Amino acid sequence: MRKAKALIFEMGQPGRRAIDLPACDVPAPDAADLIPDAFRRRTSAALPEVSQLELVRHYTALSQRNFGVDSGFYPLGSCTMKYNPKINEDACRMSGFAAIHPLQDEATVQGALELVAAMEGYLAEIAGMDAVTMQPAAGAHGELTGLKLIRAYHRHRGENRTKVIVPDSAHGTNPATAAVGGLETVEIKSHPDGAVDLEALRAAVGPDTAALMLTNPSTLGLFEKNIRAVAEIVHAAGGLLYYDGANANAIMGISRPGDMGFDVIHFNLHKTFSTPHGGGGPGSGPVGVKKELIPFLPVPVIAAEGGSYRLDYDRPLSIGKMQSFYGNFGVIVRAYAYILAMGPDGLRAASEDAVLNANYCLSRLKEKFHSPFARFCMHECVLTSKDQKPYGVRTLDIAKRLLDYGYHPPTIYFPLIVEEALMIEPTETESKETLDGFIAAMLRIADEAEEDAAKLKAAPATTVVGRLDEATAARKPVVRWKA
Ligand SMILES: *Cc1c(COP(=O)(O)O)cnc(C)c1O
């Protein structure tokens, strides 16, 4: 049986307090003088009345219901949830970074400007691009910035190109960004082997093509082998290539989008470059471009002159400002600390280990779970519950049962083009023992599917709440206590 925990409102006794305040030694003001009558409450606020110890236990218990990468294995594919080394946190809390103000005079924040300029340089090198803007506040915001740059580029050349080609394996933000950017999405189907279908691409491009948005490795975890052919087809039609680099965890120091033929890229510092993410932010989605697009970058651009830095607003072709001030600075500092700590060899090793770990999971889980593509994967692998279907078990049941074994489930039902998908991204920081534990749990669940499907359908049995109606829980969450 599940143990129902008392709510804080159900605990305590009237008059019980968590603190003792000394009696007021000045005359107490009349509340009526402080708060206009119309705004005063006539009834008690009915706050919980608990001791300090009860209060501490309450919040500690709540915090222990959380699951994060610091508490356990968190294999969310297509959303790199990698470990954030704690030195990043130390770095961004240094008072020279944390206590400056964005309206301070440039002369007094030279170090901060130097750091942002250095990050632009590092990311340009990693991406194979000519310049980078650190302004966008997240991945989707980077996509919007990138598409605005592409529109400005075409317009400047006197061309009105309005269509963005997006493969059906794309992340959902890609078509959403195109729509917000005032462009039209043309979806192309993937080839059965997971790659871009070159015939479909040739048929889709034309004089109205503004760009192709692509992620490589794709959201199927596969490297696009025909990427040069893809780039040639789009460029020959006058379009540009946009690289969704939100998850670049397979390619750091190994392959560069700029060398593959891409013109614009965004990174997610909060995924690949190890700064905390989840719960809605803050993030950072820097955008890199080839030199033809530099004149259109958002203002201000950081200009280096004779060893000092200034903010340059005098850029007549700029798309304008994409964000108040200069980007989410604290996130940029964390990613900077990560890049410096890793160095070029460390970044490459991280990507190699990420790919190795994903392939280790894939090769062992293939024993009992169907693998839709007979290829090595990159930083994440896709499996399905096709082999469990005859027992009436679905991917959702497998994910819920994993909770009973103490693991955060992987991404499920994405990518959309794979039926009953399970997408696993272990990342580079997990040990072989952790992966073996996870794999053992998955294989055990495959056995349970055959022997006792009902147990899976009823899972999870060991968590604070059982199986929720997920749609209602997401759309109409009840987050407020009512008497
Ligand atoms: C996470 C992700 C995005 C969106 O990034 P946000 O920071 O959440 O806006 C875009 N594309 C891909 C492939 C992603 O994984």
Mean pLDDT confidence for 95-112: 96
What's the pTM value of the predicted model, to 2 decimals? 0.91
What number does the ligand 1 atom closest to the CA of 79 have?
A: 15
Q: What strands, in cross-sheet order, belong to the sheet with 411-412?
A: 381-384, 421-424, 411-412
Mean pLDDT confidence for 270-295: 90
H-helix segments, 197-269? 198-204, 227-236, 257-260
DSSP 270: T
pLDDT of 483 higher than 80? no
Q: pLDDT digit string (tens) for 172-204?
A: 899 999 999 999 999 999 888 888 999 999 999
Q: Token pair for residue 272?
A: 């690949």
What number does the ligand 1 atom closest to the CA of 283 have?
A: 7
Q: Token pair for residue 398?
A: 């497998």
Q: pLDDT digit string (tens) for 393-450?
A: 999 999 999 999 999 999 999 988 899 999 999 999 999 999 999 999 999 999 999 9
Distance separating alpha carbons of residues 235 and 336, to the nearest angstrom: 33
Q: pLDDT digit string (tens) for 360-383?
A: 999 999 999 999 998 999 999 999
pLDDT of 128 higher than 80? yes
Q: Token pair for residue 366?
A: 């293939």
Tracing tokens 């190699």 back to the chain, one arrives at 352
Ligand 1 center–CA 452 separation, angstroms: 38
Q: pLDDT digit string (tens) for 302-327?
A: 999 988 999 999 999 999 999 989 89
What number does the ligand 1 atom closest to the CA of 80 have?
A: 15
Ligand 1 center–CA 142 separation, angstroms: 9
Residue 79 is predicted with a pLDDT of 85
Least confident of 126-135, 137-146, 219-228, 237-246: 219-228
pLDDT of 1 higher than 60? no
Ligand 1 center–CA 127 separation, angstroms: 17
Hey, what domains does the chain have and what are their CATH numbers? 8-63 (no CATH), 86-341 (3.40.640.10), 344-475 (3.90.1150.10)
Mean pLDDT confidence for 386-394: 97
Pairing verdict, β 411-412 and 421-424:
antiparallel
Q: Token pair for residue 222?
A: 């596969």
Atom 12, ligand 1: residue with shortest CA distance? 246
What number does the ligand 1 atom closest to the CA of 170 have?
A: 13
Ligand 1 center–CA 61 separation, angstroms: 32
pLDDT of 279 higher than 90? no
Ligand 1 center–CA 216 separation, angstroms: 13
What number does the ligand 1 atom closest to the CA of 173 have?
A: 10
Ligand 1 center–CA 7 separation, angstroms: 36
Q: pLDDT digit string (tens) for 328-351?
A: 999 999 999 999 999 999 999 999
Peptide bond between residue 27 and the one before it cis (omega within 30 degrees of 0): no
Mean pLDDT confidence for 19-37: 86
Strand partners, 214: 243
357 close to ligand 1 (CB < 6 Angstrom): no
Share of the chain above pLDDT 90, in %: 79
The full length of the chain comes to: 483
Residue 169 is predicted with a pLDDT of 86
